[in-house]
Amino acid sequence: MALMWNRTVEWDAEDWRRSAACRNTAPDLFFPIGTTGPALEQIEAAKRVCRACPAQEPCLDFALATNQESGVWGGTSEEERRKLRKAWLAARRRAS
């Protein structure tokens, strides 16, 4: 996956969000409280929804570009997105 986005990207919210599998799922599923115990099961359940979603990639792009720090976005946990974002920022610094 190439992380080539920036904060000036224009998303057509009616496009990828309209086809998102989470659209008809309780939002609470994607925002577990904590990262241990029952929250791990909830995170995995949210990721299962994401894996079947046609909008997974643009959702992740949006989450990374807008620095969504909470919840499951594009099939990634908060920690996974932090690592992806750090890698993207490091690559960007090296390219400068």
Could you read off the pLDDT of 45-95 as tens digits, one per residue?
999 999 999 999 999 989 988 899 999 999 999 999 999 988 878 887 898
Annotated domain spans of the chain: 14-95
CB 84 within 8 A of CB 64: yes
The pTM (predicted TM-score) of the whole model is: 0.80
What contacts 88, CB < 8 A, 6 or more positions away? Answer: 3, 64
Left (φ > 0), alpha (ψ -120 to 50) or beta: where does 75 sit?
left
Could you read off the pLDDT of 63-72 as tens digits, one per residue?
988 899 999 9
